[in-house]
Chain A
Amino acid sequence: MSSPQLAFSLAGVAKRYGNTRALEDINLDIQAGQVVGIVGENGAGKSTLVKLLSGAEVSTAGTVTVAGEAIDRRDTGAMYERGVRVVYQEGSFVPTLPLLDNLFLLERAKTGARLTRPKSEAGRAAAVLESVGLDPGLMSRPVIQLSRSQQQIAEVARCLVSRGSIVILDEPTSALSQRDARRVLDAVRRVAAQGATVIYISHLLEDVMEVCDRIVVLRNGRLVDQRVASQWTAAELVEAILGGTLELRAALEAEEGAGVTAGASRVLELDGVSCRGLYGVNLCLYGGEVLGIAGLGGSGKSLLGRLIAGREPFAYDGAMALGARDAKSIGVRRLRNMVGYLSPDRASGGINPLASISENLLTGKFRLVSNSFGVVQTRRKRELVTDSLQSNDVRYGKADDLITSLSGGNQQKVLVARAYLGDPALVVLDEPTRGIDVGARLRIYDDIRARAAAGVPSIVISNDAEEIATIADRAVIMRRGAIVDEIMKPTRENVYAATVS
């Protein structure tokens, strides 16, 4: 069977969800003490792979061997015992507890200890923190007081405290500044030097190439290539991720020309806008245009969207103008009425689950159907609701049914319709099609296009290069709070390449 120095071995592994093939015929041996990068587009199968390795899912075919033993059942406990630890992007610390308690929280629960042992715990914590390059003095501080890079490194330290030998990191650096990212990468190398295996999952190819010993590329659920890191170039990686036959260079060059926006009026203009999390953003939105903003999680694109839409406190340097008027002179309250907005998270920032479809459609827009005394006119309300729901192709029973009686796609259509209600000057849509079916997605794209043609330009913010390519006339790329690139004719390839390189 597998030799003992193999941390992991996947042989002919496949994972299917119904008819969907998430992973197909994966053969992968991971040696102990290596840092292995796994890269691929959204939906390439990275997270499914993590689920198999962590025991959250079991493969449909093939064998997953961990530390010399095949695991053939869904069993996170068994994987944990064999040393598998996953650090998720959003982190898992209790922010108000001191770091020391956070480091041992899981360990205490696993061992069933009834009393903490401050001395031995502190000793172990100090050793581990030092080994990953963190100041042991931090352990008495609440996690909330740590910087983001310190928190990320501490997450890794926690894996070591609980004697993890296989550490899976999911996008550990995408929300960090370059300097902070370097600290995390340094910690990852130190961990590997101590003999632990690290599975490093990220879209930031630069970081992957710097820290990893080996890089594995997934595409459409298949392992398409794996090489020692030094044998990859950035361009080769992008080609492997997107599919080798693409004429990437040509696509990248095509962006040079183009000038569809010449002559159109400027609806929105940002000049050197900076605030906490944004650095010198220059941006222009022309009439009739759909502008895409692409970037990874933590790149600041959602923050920029909220700022433009007046959904963020108006504290920034630089200038923002809507038409000919300065945004600050318009005021944040009026701006909110002039800019439509769709939140990226339907459940927490979109719907009110206790209210009906029509209530949700009109949230924040009731002034459109009220008289000058602020009384809602039932007839106008009914007309507007029916008109809006039908023109947006929402499939519903009665407008008074709870919003939660609709499918996710139809809920999203309601929220998109709301963003366009009341003749906004422009609309900001953050992840307009996240987690909805293809039919609803295409319907929403049609809608965004039709509105732009009718004179309401939109800014579409998305993680998904394909979405940007489909819907946007022009795209800008954000990374670490700044706009780093502009693409005149977005394609899936050039957007993806610009996002990750």
Chain B
Amino acid sequence: MRPLSVDAGTGPPPTDPSPSSPTREALNKVGSGMVRSPYLSAGAAVLALVIIMSFSSQFFLTEANGVALIYTVSIVALLAIGETIVLISGGVDLSAGSVLGLSGMLSAYLIETEHISAFLAIVVCLGVGLVTGAINGLAIAFIRVSPFIVTLATGSVATGLTLVISQGSTIQVTSGAFNWLGGTAVHTIPVLFFIILVLFALFEFGLRRTVVGRELYALGGNSNSAVLAGISRHKIQIGTYSLAGLLYGLAGLAQVGILSAATSSAGADDLLTPIAAAVIGGVSLFGGEGSVLGAGLGIIVIGVISDGLVLLNISSFYTQIVYGVVVFVAVLLDSGRRMLVRRRA
């Protein structure tokens, strides 16, 4: 039987081969749901965090805080969607934050010093992401270098280029059209929020219901058997990393819009947060499992924690430690869940 409280804070659920009684069986069923579905643990964590926070701080449930929370998580959300499809395909992408930085910085530079049109700047911004992603995908698919190494390398180059272009300083962006995505709100709710919701719906549908989406899971679950079944590994990998890159470019655009500026440190803290969000939401680091909705829950967990740390006046120096612990616990729970599923199979 599995314990019911599979939320952040408990260890991996112990197995107990106890005899079955009606109650135990009922509990077993609920437990089995927990085991099968990663949503429940992430959802429980979200619920627990929201309850704790609303009692701990009178600010937490205010509109202003809600909007702040949306801004906090929206960038990570865009990165995490890209990261999730990469993880499901059986890869990993460490270039997300760096590509965000470079795409925003290059387009900001071109629009402010070279005076290109806002439209062209947006194309450049998204293009930087797409091209970096395509380079990742091509190297991984054809040269068969480990995704870890490839994306670490491209990420490093991207960060370096950002610093070269900006000379380490911030570039103010005044173009309203360019800043529209990140800087516009309907009443107080950012437009970005709605766009992210649409993206979540699109990607969830795409993964669940399209041929390519199903092939992505097959490749991540057992790449050898997927290839032998006739799936083109090259096509899927190049497509996945490119699409992920495009999303990082979009995140770069949104980030500049939010701040009306491109900073040379943008994305610097986002090396692991998108991966953390995906993993908390039940996306497997080994590929073939998870969903963008799950990653969405993971993003909320991370967002509420970082927001909570601010509201509770805890120094931001502790943020990284808390993230680390949360990710560790999530991975622990995830591998525990996986072991239980395997044992049942």
Q: Which residue numbers of A lie inside 8 Å of B, CB to CB?
A: 306, 310-311, 333, 336-337, 341, 343, 348-355, 359, 362-367, 370, 373-376, 378, 402, 404-405, 418
- B222-259 CB mask vs A (1 if < 8 Å, else 0) is 10111111111000000000000000000000000000
Cβ contact of A354, chosen from B211, B214, B288, cutoff 8 A:
B288
CB pair B226–A352 under 8 Å, yes or no, is yes
Known: A352-B222, A355-B217, A363-B229. 8 other contacts (CB 8 A): A306-B228, A333-B232, A341-B228, A349-B228, A353-B221, A364-B226, A366-B215, A374-B211
Known contacts being A343-B225, A349-B224, is A402 close to B232, with CB within 8 Å?
Answer: no
User: Of B215, B220, B228, B288, which is in contact with the most chain A CB atoms at under 10 Å from its CB?
Assistant: B228
- Residues on the A chain within 8 Å of B230, using CB: 310-311, 336-337, 341, 364-365
CB pair B226–A370 under 8 Å, yes or no, is no
Interface residue? B209 (CB, 8 A): yes
Chain B residue, CB-CB nearest to A342: B228
- Residues on the B chain within 8 Å of A310, using CB: 230
CB pair A351–B217 under 8 Å, yes or no, is no
Whole-angstrom CA separation of A341 from B217 in the bound complex: 20
Whole-angstrom CA separation of A418 from B229 in the bound complex: 9
CB pair A355–B225 under 8 Å, yes or no, is no
- Residues on the B chain within 8 Å of A375, using CB: 209-211
A-B contact pairs, 9 of them (CB 8 A): A306-B228, A311-B228, A341-B228, A343-B228, A349-B228, A352-B217, A352-B226, A354-B288, A373-B210
Cβ contact of A363, chosen from B210, B226, B232, B345, cutoff 8 A:
B226
Whole-angstrom CA separation of A343 from B227 in the bound complex: 11
User: Of B211, B284, B342, which is in contact with the most chain A CB atoms at under 10 Å from its CB?
Assistant: B211
Min CB–CB distance A384 → chain B (angstroms):
13
CB pair B345–A351 under 8 Å, yes or no, is no
User: Of B210, B284, B342, which is in contact with the most chain A CB atoms at under 10 Å from its CB?
Assistant: B210
Quick one: which of B275-312 are within 8 Å of A by CB? 284, 288-289
Min CB–CB distance B228 → chain A (angstroms):
5
Whole-angstrom CA separation of A375 from B289 in the bound complex: 20
CB pair A352–B214 under 8 Å, yes or no, is no
Min CB–CB distance A465 → chain B (angstroms):
25
Known contacts being A352-B221, A352-B222, A355-B221, is A366 close to B211, with CB within 8 Å?
Answer: yes
Cβ contact of A359, chosen from B211, B217, B342, cutoff 8 A:
B217
CB pair A370–B228 under 8 Å, yes or no, is no
Quick one: which of B174-212 are within 8 Å of A by CB? 209-212
How big is the B interface, by class?
20 to 34
Interface residue? B35 (CB, 8 A): no
Known contacts being A374-B210, A376-B209, is A355 close to B228, with CB within 8 Å?
Answer: no
Min CB–CB distance B212 → chain A (angstroms):
6
- Residues on the B chain within 8 Å of A343, using CB: 224-225, 228
What is the count of residue pairs linking A and B with beta-carbon distances less than 8 angstroms? 88
Cβ contact of B231, chosen from A355, A364, A376, A378, cutoff 8 A:
A364
Cβ contact of B225, chosen from A333, A351, A366, cutoff 8 A:
A351
Min CB–CB distance A340 → chain B (angstroms):
9
- Residues on the B chain within 8 Å of A363, using CB: 214-215, 218, 225-226, 229, 231
- Residues on the A chain within 8 Å of B211, using CB: 366-367, 370, 374-376
Whole-angstrom CA separation of A374 from B214 in the bound complex: 11
Chain B residue, CB-CB nearest to A377: B209
Chain B residue, CB-CB nearest to A338: B230
CB pair A354–B289 under 8 Å, yes or no, is yes
- Residues on the B chain within 8 Å of A333, using CB: 232
Min CB–CB distance A152 → chain B (angstroms):
26
Min CB–CB distance A105 → chain B (angstroms):
25
CB pair B345–A362 under 8 Å, yes or no, is no
CB pair A311–B227 under 8 Å, yes or no, is yes
- Residues on the B chain within 8 Å of A378, using CB: 209
Chain B residue, CB-CB nearest to A368: B211
Chain A residue, CB-CB nearest to B229: A364
Whole-angstrom CA separation of A330 from B63 in the bound complex: 61
CB pair B215–A352 under 8 Å, yes or no, is no
User: Of B214, B229, B341, which is in contact with the most chain A CB atoms at under 10 Å from its CB?
Assistant: B229
Chain A residue, CB-CB nearest to B226: A363
- Residues on the B chain within 8 Å of A402, using CB: 341, 345
Whole-angstrom CA separation of A427 from B212 in the bound complex: 24
Whole-angstrom CA separation of A370 from B214 in the bound complex: 11
Min CB–CB distance B279 → chain A (angstroms):
16
- Residues on the A chain within 8 Å of B345, using CB: 353, 402, 404-405
CB pair A353–B222 under 8 Å, yes or no, is yes
CB pair A351–B222 under 8 Å, yes or no, is yes
Whole-angstrom CA separation of A364 from B221 in the bound complex: 13
- Residues on the A chain within 8 Å of B220, using CB: 354
Min CB–CB distance B99 → chain A (angstroms):
27
Known contacts being A370-B210, A418-B229, is A364 close to B218, with CB within 8 Å?
Answer: yes
Min CB–CB distance A406 → chain B (angstroms):
10
Chain B residue, CB-CB nearest to A306: B228
- Residues on the A chain within 8 Å of B231, using CB: 363-364
Known contacts being A311-B227, A364-B218, is A355 close to B288, with CB within 8 Å?
Answer: yes
Min CB–CB distance A352 → chain B (angstroms):
4
User: Of B209, B222, B224, which is in contact with the most chain A CB atoms at under 10 Å from its CB?
Assistant: B222
Whole-angstrom CA separation of A182 from B229 in the bound complex: 38
- Residues on the B chain within 8 Å of A348, using CB: 222, 224-225
- Going nearest first, the 3 A-B pairs with the smallest beta carbon separation are A364-B229, A352-B221, A364-B230
Cβ contact of A352, chosen from B210, B225, B341, cutoff 8 A:
B225
Whole-angstrom CA separation of A348 from B210 in the bound complex: 25
Whole-angstrom CA separation of A337 from B211 in the bound complex: 15
Chain A residue, CB-CB nearest to B217: A355
Min CB–CB distance B85 → chain A (angstroms):
15
- Residues on the A chain within 8 Å of B222, using CB: 348, 351-354
Known contacts being A336-B230, A402-B345, is A366 close to B289, with CB within 8 Å?
Answer: no
Min CB–CB distance A381 → chain B (angstroms):
10
- Residues on the A chain within 8 Å of B221, using CB: 352-355
Whole-angstrom CA separation of A405 from B215 in the bound complex: 21
- Residues on the B chain within 8 Å of A374, using CB: 210-212
- Residues on the B chain within 8 Å of A351, using CB: 222, 225
Chain B residue, CB-CB nearest to A310: B230
Whole-angstrom CA separation of A359 from B231 in the bound complex: 13
CB pair A355–B218 under 8 Å, yes or no, is yes
- Residues on the A chain within 8 Å of B224, using CB: 343, 348-349
Whole-angstrom CA separation of A366 from B209 in the bound complex: 10
Whole-angstrom CA separation of A402 from B32 in the bound complex: 14
Whole-angstrom CA separation of A220 from B210 in the bound complex: 52
- Residues on the A chain within 8 Å of B229, using CB: 341, 363-365, 418
- B136-161 CB mask vs A (1 if < 8 Å, else 0) is 00000000000000000000000000
Whole-angstrom CA separation of A353 from B226 in the bound complex: 12
Whole-angstrom CA separation of A140 from B211 in the bound complex: 50
Whole-angstrom CA separation of A359 from B212 in the bound complex: 13
Chain A residue, CB-CB nearest to B234: A333
Chain A residue, CB-CB nearest to B215: A366
Chain B residue, CB-CB nearest to A419: B229
Chain A residue, CB-CB nearest to B286: A354
Min CB–CB distance A380 → chain B (angstroms):
12
Whole-angstrom CA separation of A389 from B15 in the bound complex: 34
Min CB–CB distance A43 → chain B (angstroms):
27
- Residues on the B chain within 8 Å of A364, using CB: 215, 218, 226, 229-231
